[in-house]
Structure 1
Amino acid sequence: MTQLAPTTSARADDGQKRFASLDPRTGEVVAHHPVASEADVREAVRAARDAAVFWAGLGFDGRRARLDAWRKLLVKRLDEFQQLISAETGKSADDARTELALVVEHLHWAAKHAAKALGKRKVPSGMLMYNFAATLEYRPLGVVGVIGPWNYPALTPVGSIGYALAAGNAVVFKPSEFTPGVGVFLAETFAQVVPEYPVLRTVTGFGETGAALCASGVDKIAFTGSTATGRKVLAACAASLTPVLLECGGKDPLIVAEDADVKAAAEAAVWGGIFNAGQTCAGVEVALVADAVYDEFVALVTRKAAKLRPGGEPDADFGPITMPGQVEVIRSHVADALDRGARAVVGGLESIRPPYVEPVVLVDVPDDAKAATEETFGPTLVVTRVADADEAVRRANAHKYGLGASVFSRNRGEELADRLRCGMVSVNSVLAYASVGALPFGGVGDSGFGRIHGEDGLREFTFAHSVARKRFPALLNPMTYDRGSRTMRHVLRMVRVLYGR
């Protein structure tokens, strides 16, 4: 079948342009949604300004009660939500359920820990300022714009939306044009527990709608998507000094050391590289395997990956490629590798049958091939032989991306993890960090900057507010023109005693 992308359809009776979201498995229309104009986006942000005052005024306890109610409502409607995600992305029922389980976990964590992470607290004032009391708190920015992806249309945006809301902000959310219904579902369910104001509003549309959100005067943009688009978002926000959180692409390695549990590593590599049809920014794209265990690892991966098949049925191993254009990226990476001498031990070019791509496992891939250097974002896995785990670390750190990584080693796991230049590492597992609410998620280099999840994720949507309050006069006060030279001599003598040894 021919795979289609969302396109603008006829205007509705009210004159609003609309577009269809399509099921990538069948090409059938899931629903129609409005194309929000620049004026629509600005109106959404304006309304969010009033909503933000109300929402911040509820305080941590009031917001936690509403967020907990939202979480419980989502749990009640979990089956409906799963079916919607599967319809818009094509992912299998279990892949969608896994995503939603993490949505619930992160909403719970953010609501529970916001007060402790952000609330006012005393901080030491230091010996020189002994007569002052110092306090610090983190205050909401106001209105946060979130631009979400299609591969995890609920989990990834909620990593920004849930934490921004817990911090006291209103949110205007622009979902991917491939998954607009998921964004509408999030906003509509939230409105049921917060009916007073549009604290969370969804605006649907294409790239122009996202660009309008960047220029709308929001207090921060949280973007998830490709590195190329992330650069455009950053440039668009620079004109107004709108701060940006960028969660971009990755080429995440799995390192298999000489002392690894090879069976566990192979199982993790296949799941981490192929689940959700490989459409995971922090999924496994390259396995760097020590020579001592390489042959065993390749044999196990080959056996496991060859059994998996994509499909449109709910119990398929994984679903289709959601975005039609990504199929050609996958094809070009596989073709380039094969043309340059790589071998496919599982699948090959014949595995690419839009909208589905069967598992492809490549070995002997040249170091500068696209499949080894660029994000493929499909159910493919490159397995590279290295001398040992130390070489694997050096190769991983030389890459332009730095999102996540995995390390398999019985005795050196934490040591190797500590040496990796990336935002997150799983030891003897893959993607474990994404399931831990307390751990920040984000990368370095071409993978972007800023963090969602954890205390860092909460503070990402706030500004620090510091107060120093004078409690009583100091015996020595250098902060006046009446201080005299004697005062400064005593202050410098104190500095030498306190800090010069």
Structure 2
Amino acid sequence: MEPYDALLASITPKSGETRTITDPATGTAIGEAPIHTLEDLEQAINAAQAAQPAWDGLGHEARSAVLLKAADAIERSAAELAHLLSREQGKPLNGLNARFEVGGCVAWLRAAATTPLEAQTLVDDGETYAELHYKPIGVVGAIGPWNWPMMITIWQIAPALRMGNAVVVKPSEYTPLSVLALVKVLNEEIPEGLLTVVSGDRTVGARLAEHPAVGKIMFTGSTATGKAIIKSSADTVKRLTLELGGNDAGIVLPDADPKAIAQDLFWGAFLNTGQTCSALKRLYVHTDIYDAVCEELTKVAVAAPMGNGLDENNVLGPLQNKAQYDIVANLVEAARASGARILLGGNPDAGQPGYFYPTTLVADIENDNPLVAEEQFGPALPIIRYSTVDDAVEKANALDVGLGASVWSSNRDAAREVAARIQAGTVWINKHGAVDPRIPFGGAKQSGYGLEFGIEGLKALGTPQVINL
């Protein structure tokens, strides 16, 4: 018996076409996911349209109360959700992984429910009085990824519901069970019809993006798919929030302490086994401390156990799917062939079940190498040597993406000066990838547009309305 058996049974289709979902750590079957159709999508959108006006009419306070109860429901089912997530996505239960993700769902849902959003007085000069309000959009489409399937779904649906919208969710085909289970739990408290999952293929996602009854699309995924959504949404002038691909740079200044920063550098890069949009994916280190940083990072990496996520000792897991495994393996092999130095890893065990790629650190690599220039989205970190800060900043800014970045230094003022020169939506200092439900998050350049989290995230799920007296 698995801890999630009852929950899984509740989302297993009793009829209709299904698809077997397998564990990326073992290749064994987990369960059956429905293959929803365009007709199912139409039914979900119709139900959302019917339920949304009454939900809007409740007002912020009553909607927030419902969402807080929904957060409590997630907490009640946390063990089952975490185990199912670990099996389907591959991430370990322990560390910043499955249990952490379920806890993040609770935290972000509560934050969306309790963040105040008052009407803003724009002008009050005795002659003119103007207020800015935010009204619901109507029906929101939420299209999510496979790397953080539960938490990113909450990032999308929590503010949408708080602002009075209904939501239709399209999960990744790789991780539908996690999202179906999460929404099943949420719907214990949320009124019927407001929140529906349509677990279909890309044709379903494409139709959701272009559907005339959907007023906004929230999407987290690749830049290529984001561009397709922009095109398909044009005819209906949909509002969009797009969190797209990234290739985050970290710059280690010469005054940094290699030993002190090694642990945070490692987890900035290898959180969720590197399968995080805002993970540290290319590390620029000043030549004066280059060898020391490589040495300290290697020590940390060797001590981080990788294996089946249900083993409480592991903190790193497999890549979620074969396609992503092949991308990482090919990029590392190209780096090796170019003459780069493999400090650790790069030697997967072909006889091991599952999509495990070993923790890999690559040194003495050129900035134009594909492992640096392309988003690897896995457990392989290239470490690039630089001589001047100007050179490091230029290299960090050279790509057409800019989701996040980081600067590492013992001098906060010096780090802030460098951070201000980096073209990215968020620049962290002496940490990387630390998102917070109170702090807006979004990308620059081709990493997308629109903000999530905090007050700005709520506003993005509403239509601004000025009342002018």
Partner of 2:316: 318
Distance 1:63 1:49 in 2: 17
Gaps of 5+ in 1: 1-10, 470-501
Structure 1 residue 349: Cα displacement: 4.0
Instruction: Determine the C-alpha separation between the residues in 1 that align with 2:349 and 2:381.
Output: 13
Contact kept? 2:77, 2:185, Cα under 8 Å: no
Q: 1:264 maps to which residue?
A: 260
Counterpart for residue 198 of structure 2: 203
How far apart in 2 are the matches of 1:304 and 1:202? 40
CA contact (8 A) 2:112 2:454 kept: yes
User: Aligned letter for 2:276?
Assistant: T
Counterpart of 1:83 in structure 2: which amino acid? H
State the partner residue of 2:9: none
Question: CA separation in 2, counterparts of 1:29 and 1:452?
Answer: 35
Query: In the alignment, which of 98, 103, 110 is matched to residue 105 of structure 2?
Result: 103
Aligned ranges 1:437-448 → 2 under 5 Å:
437-448=437-448
Residue identity in the other structure for 1:275? L
Pairwise mapping of residues 172-321 of structure 1 onto structure 2 (< 5 A)?
A: 172-194=168-190, 196-217=191-212, 218-312=214-308, 313-315=310-312, 316-321=314-319
Aligned counterparts, 1:424-435, within 5 A? 424-432=426-434, 434=435
User: What is the DSSP-based 3-state SS (H/G/I as helix, E as strand, rest coil) of the residue aligned with 1:292?
Assistant: coil
**Structure 2 counterpart of 1:180, one-letter code:** P
Displacement of 1:310: 2.0
Contact 2:347 2:358 in 1 (8 A): no
**Alpha-carbon distance between aligned partners in 2 of 1:389 and 1:103, rounded to the nearest angstrom:** 38
Within 5 Å, give how 1:85-484 maps onto structure 2. 85-94=85-94, 95-113=97-115, 116-117=116-117, 119-125=118-124, 130-194=126-190, 196-217=191-212, 218-312=214-308, 313-315=310-312, 316-350=314-348, 354-411=354-411, 412-432=414-434, 434=435, 436-469=436-469
Matches of 1:107 and 1:36, distance apart in 2: 27
Structure of greater Rg: 1
Secondary structure of the structure 2 residue equivalent to 1:289:
strand
Q: Deviations over 1:215-249 (max 9, x none)?
A: 32211111111112212222222233222221111
- Alignment deviations for residues 325-344 of structure 1 (CA, whole Å, 9 cap, x no partner): 01111111111111111110
Q: Hey, what does 1:491 align to over in structure 2?
A: none
1:239 is matched by which residue type in structure 2?
Answer: D
Distance 1:241 1:303 in 2: 52
Q: Is the 8 A contact 2:440 2:453 kept in 1?
A: yes
**1:21-60 paired onto structure 2 within 5 Å:** 21-60=21-60
Contact 1:402–1:422, Cα closer than 8 Å, also in 2? yes
Identical columns (%): 34
2 CA distance for matches of 1:88 and 1:12? 17
Matched residue type, 1:334: V
Question: 1:13/1:161 Cα in 2 relative to 1: closer, same or farther (>3 Å)?
Answer: closer
Q: Write the distance in 1 (CA, Å) between the matches of 2:370 and 2:362.
A: 12
Query: Following the alignment from structure 1 to structure 2, what is the Cα–Cα distance between the partners of residues 358 and 13?
Result: 40
Gaps of at least 5 residues in structure 2 are 1-11
The alpha-carbon deviation at position 205 of structure 1 amounts to 1.7
Q: Counterpart amino acid of 2:210?
A: A
Give how far 1:13 is off: 7.0
Count of equivalent residues: 449
Residues 389, 98 of structure 1: CA spacing in aligned structure 2 closer, same or farther, 3 A cutoff?
farther
| Cα RMSD for the two superposed structures | 1.8
Whether the 8 Å contact between 1:289 and 1:388 is mirrored in structure 2 is no
CA contact 2:360–2:381 (8 Å) conserved in 1: yes
* Alpha-carbon separation, structure 1, partners of 2:275 and 2:198: 24
Q: Secondary structure at the match of 2:288?
A: helix
Q: Output the CA distance in 2 between the equivalents of 1:357 and 1:388.
A: 34
The 3-state SS of whatever aligns with 2:79 is: helix
The two structures have a TM-score, normalised by structure 1, of 0.86
Amino acid at match of 1:40: D
Q: Which moved more, 1:306-315 or 1:317-326?
A: 306-315
Cα offset, 1:301, TM superposition: 1.0
* Residue type at the aligned position of 2:431: S
Return the alpha-carbon distance in structure 1 between the equivalents of residues 185 and 141 of structure 2. Answer: 19
Q: TM-score with structure 2 length normalisation?
A: 0.92
Displacement, 1:369? Answer: 1.3
Q: What letter is aligned with 2:432?
A: V
CA distance in 1, matches of 2:176, 2:130: 46
